[in-house]
Structures are given as C-alpha cells and as structure tokens.
Amino acid sequence: MKNKTIGTSGIIIALVFFTACSNSSSNSSSQPTSENIQLEISRALVANNITGCGEMEWYPVPDQRHEYKVKCSSDGKNWRVYRVWSKINKVYSDTNY
C-alpha cells in the first residue's frame, strides 16, 4: 500500500471530517479503506495526546494488522515517528524508522 498524507489542515479537522463521513455511510467491504485507516490512526494519536501532526504520513507494517508507522510534522521539515496500533489506541515513539 502506498503511503498516505494528511495535509496541513491538521489531525483534528481530519478526525471530525472522517467521523462525519463514517457515520453517514457504511462500508460493506471487509478491507479497510484509506479513509478508515486514517481515522483509526488519528483517533489513536488524539487518545494519546500526540500533537504536532499537521502533516502526517503513514505506512502499514508488513504482516501486522492495524499496525502502522506514522510520521508527524507541524512544519513539514521536522518529523517525529511513531508506531501506532490503531485498534487498541496504543502509540509509541519509533526510533527505528
């Protein structure tokens, strides 16, 4: 899966948008969509008080369901890297990116 980016509008705006979209339509596919994955990641970051993610890129961890490497930046130049387990809302700093 190709990496996905949320623009500078920020995580909170994306979280509100994706929550509204997910409440208004149902996805009958068993495969998660990029939007659903971004929503899960955003919820986990917010639940763990992670800030400075105006820009976010995420990559699925091979052979691991609901586990992602996430890069966050508030300025597009300085990045922090996290490992996110979206289904259990766990986030850890990842120095092995």
2-61 pLDDT, tens per residue? Answer: 555 555 445 555 555 555 555 444 444 567 788 999 999 999 999 999 999 999 999 999
Q: Quote the pLDDT of residue 9.
A: 46
pTM exceeds 0.85 for this model: no
Radius of gyration of the chain (CA): 13
Residue with tokens 């996805």: 27
Calpha distance 56→50 (Å, rounded)? 12
Evaluate whether 68 touches 79 at the Cβ level (below 8 Å): no
